[in-house]
Structure 1
Amino acid sequence: MPDDFDLGIASDQLLVGDAISKGAKALPDSNSPRLDARVLLKFALQTDDAGLIGRSRERLSEQEIERFAHLIRRRQKGEPVAYITGVKEFWSLEFAVDQSVLIPREDSECLIETVLARRQRTENLRIADLGTGSGCLICALISEFPQAQGVAVDLSPAAVKTARTNAAKNALADRIEILEGSWTEPLRGQFDVIIANPPYISDEEAKELSDDVIDYEPSSALLGGHDGLDPYRVILREINDKLTSDGLLVFECGYRQTDALAQLVRDFDGNYPVFTINDLSGRPRGVGLDRRKGQKKD
């Protein structure tokens, strides 16, 4: 076994429970080494949490050790766990992911919570998702609004294919149309909710990205121009006739960008209050505007 992941124990003596600890020890550069090792071991053994617990005192076979070691080596090189396993959970749904799309982040769930807080689940909504990537946002929303219909747009043909796979994977393909194109260009008609998580990393912030992000995730879905706000400017120029008169607009952005983005949204429509969205840690994560009756400023 290569020196970069030496289990340090005979193959016929390695227990499942010990493998997690040894895998974690081999990942000192990870922010979550034990979680990474656990997820990769489950993938190597093709089991779930219950199966892993049930086998905790069992010995790994030689083939299982080889599979696990191979996965750990990939993670040691910086490859994200989600790309190694090909799946990522978001909003309790499972999504197929590859290097054509960003890995769904838990922080983005605050966008779903924002829509749920401002619209009733029973409403017959038309929802658009701009720059859908894996389709995690539109799938999460449509799963929560049983009467809603969704349209998702992405410029990347590979991302469109992945999003369609995920809509079908989550039994939502009959209520989500996924189109190839630039921002609002493919949209027809008006929408009650428009949500977007566009590229928003500025040129300066790009220098701070970790290697596992910049080396593996698609730059076209990350980089938003000099100040990171170029995609929002394009969307806001195009969106006025796409959002209904009582529609809800929800953007994700970086925590340093909320003030500047809020001003762009006010310039787009100054008749209604603009609000900031915080993520699970309380950090600013987005900006929204709600045209619903009763929200208009005096």
Structure 2
Amino acid sequence: MANEEQQQAWTVQGTDWVDNAAIFDAVLAPFADAVIHAADIAPATRVLDIGCGSGTLLQHTAALGAVPFGIDISETMIDAARRRAPEAAVTLGDAQTADLREPNGGASFDRIISRFGVMFFDDPVAAFANIHRAAAPGARLAFVCWREGDNPMFAAGIDVLAARLESPPPALDPSAPGPLAFGNAERVRAVLADAGWKDIALEAFDGVCDFSIDGSDGVEERLALILANRTGQQARTELEARLGPDGWAGVVEELREELRRLRVDGVVKFPGRTWLVTAIA
């Protein structure tokens, strides 16, 4: 089965995303807005969200009067998306292999969008060719993906925990399916061109990842995301067993202090470096 490893991974990660949906929405708001703007969505437009997660873009799309559809490989996130955007038709499945037009009665889509949902395919050319088959002639594709190079989203504060581990998780591999898989602009262009897309454009887009919610300084919000990710989960398992509950609590406090040190203007925030990608079917 294509993307089986990613499906297994997102069975776990999907729960973390749903539990922390308010934080992710706040932190990633600039990128969601950028995708919606780039897609140029009009009322009654049929819009497909690839890797729709817990429904952020589906909700935006519905608010514009368009007709939203979503697909994701995480059942937990699909359930959350259905609750959040009841107007949307949401499918559990793999966009690399699924018949994407089936939920739309066999009709094609006018717009195809994604917020950080397209970097996890085993075979990205096959995936985007499948997506292309679901697009109406002249349909517009718009998505955002992380850009190669320094991205604090994957480092800020996490090094405090990684340094304590006997075998820290390996660095993210930009050549493998994962959040950095579309970091290289030439690779993205080649994948889309080989899959049949044209008028491909990549714009460097740097948004501010602001962890402040309801006037907070963002420390606890960033802490929650770190402790929920793979390094945080490994750290708790390993360090609590080695140091005991009090020792683990001390490590968490050390991480909290590091996040306080990283505050800018009293808030945990840093740039998120991405590509805003558009293409035409």
Q: Under a length normalisation based on structure 2, what TM-score does the superposition of the two structures give?
A: 0.49
Higher relative contact order (CA 8 A, sep 6+): 2
Question: Greater CA radius of gyration, 1 or 2?
Answer: 1
Q: Under a length normalisation based on structure 1, what TM-score does the superposition of the two structures give?
A: 0.46
